[in-house]
Amino acid sequence: MKIPPLRLGSLPPIRISGGTLATLLILAVVVHPVISLSGAVGPGGAIVVSLGIALFMIVSVLVHELAHALTARLFGATVDHIALTLWGGHTQYRAERMGGVPSMVISLAGPASNLLLAALCTGLATLTRTDDGSSVAALFWGYSAWLNVALAVFNLLPGLPMDGGRALESLLGTVLRSRITGTRITAWLGRAIAVAVVIWPLWRMWGRDSVGTGSMLTLVWALLIAGMLWQGASRALEAANLEHRIQHLDARKLARPVVAVPADLPLDRLLDGLRERAQPGSTPDLEAVVVLEQGPPLRVYRIDPSAVASVPAGQRGNVPVSAVAAPLGEVGELAAGLNGSQMVTAMLARPHPLYLVREQTGAVVGVIKSADVNAVLRGR
């Protein structure tokens, strides 16, 4: 069952997934042993306080994401939505151009909000603390403060997809003058952090005579978090590699050279021209010929060698090339000077399986197949 987005005034839509409930329960289970050992509450009270702290942490994650969203808006970005998920949350926003400093500020706004919440909770814990240390409220606010500090520190880790990694990515991209290099470095740091997240609980469990339920839950939670970090870092690395390949797209270099001829050109003139181009003793290359029928729409044909062979040599001067050509259908056109993202944008605006590449003069440089461009973008 899909939960409808939560709307609070002018704030971005908040999407709450079913995984948020699982996060709530897992947090409560992890917190419960510590609350029980405090002696401030009985067994039933420990469950209630644990659930309360877990719920407050969900609210803390929401505050974290709201800080990202509101800061992004201040820098002119459009915020699509905020999502609360099994892994915490994320903020989806779009910006045409975003400099390194604004990106860093947006990334760091989330952890900063958690540190502010930690300071607030610490103050409330101090106000509600009793002399004998039995205050439930002080226990609640004190533990909530500690968890918010942990949340802030974890998010400040310098690897993608963490906020600290995004801030470092922006900094490195500015310093190195290459956003792709910055992404690659922080993505690999993110993978290293994912490995460390698993090694830490294993190291703590090493050498113990027995392993408790809490330790096993911590290990399972660490494995889930590590998986999330590894996947996020891997996606960032794939995106950087894709961007690198897009930057190196060049319509002129990708174009397969062709001989473009009008549909009414006599067949004998085509064959004579191909013989002049060919090496001595070789046969004319009919595969390199495209026949253009001006539109709109522009239509392109390919020469059928068997049809050419069926035309007697003495009649080829009276047969247009269109009579021995098979249609390729409608094609798109690309300027030979297009490259990088401009080329991708032009192809997506008018998708076709085949494109003619033209110079500014109108001369046809060659043809590009969409399948070939897709293969380049996949790294094949």
Q: Could you please report the per-residue DSSP string of 104-139?
A: HHHHHHHHHHHHHHHHHHHHHHHHH--TTS--HHHH
* DSSP for residue 284: P
Beta bridge partners of 15: 83
Residue with tokens 């440089």: 365
Res 348: pLDDT: 93
Q: Return the SS3 of 302.
A: strand
Domains of the chain, by residue range, sit at: 14-247, 251-377
Residue with tokens 């001989």: 259
Q: Are 301 and 291 in contact (CB under 8 A)?
A: yes
The continuous run of DSSP H or E covering 330 comes out as: strand 325-330
Res 276: pLDDT: 85
Alpha helices, DSSP H, located in the chain: 19-38, 43-74, 100-128, 136-155, 163-176, 179-205, 213-247, 251-254, 267-277, 305-309, 340-349, 370-377
**pTM greater than the 0.85 cutoff:** no
Res 210: pLDDT: 65
- The residue among 329, 379, 374 whose CA lies nearest residue 354 is 329
Res 268: pLDDT: 92
Q: How far apart are the first and last CA of the chain?
A: 40
Per the document, the length of the chain is: 380
Please state the separation of Cα 267 from the chain's center in Å. 51
Q: Please, what's the largest Cα pairwise distance for the chain? A: 114
Q: Are 255 and 336 in contact (CB under 8 A)?
A: yes
Res 283: pLDDT: 75
* Domain 251-377, CATH among 3.40.720, 3.40.50, 1.20.1740, 3.10.580: 3.10.580
- The residue among 297, 296, 293, 282 whose CA lies nearest residue 320 is 293
Res 212: pLDDT: 66
Res 140: pLDDT: 95
Question: Which residues of the chain have a pLDDT value below 50?
Answer: none
Res 86: pLDDT: 84
State residue 30 phi and psi, 5-degree precision: -65, -40
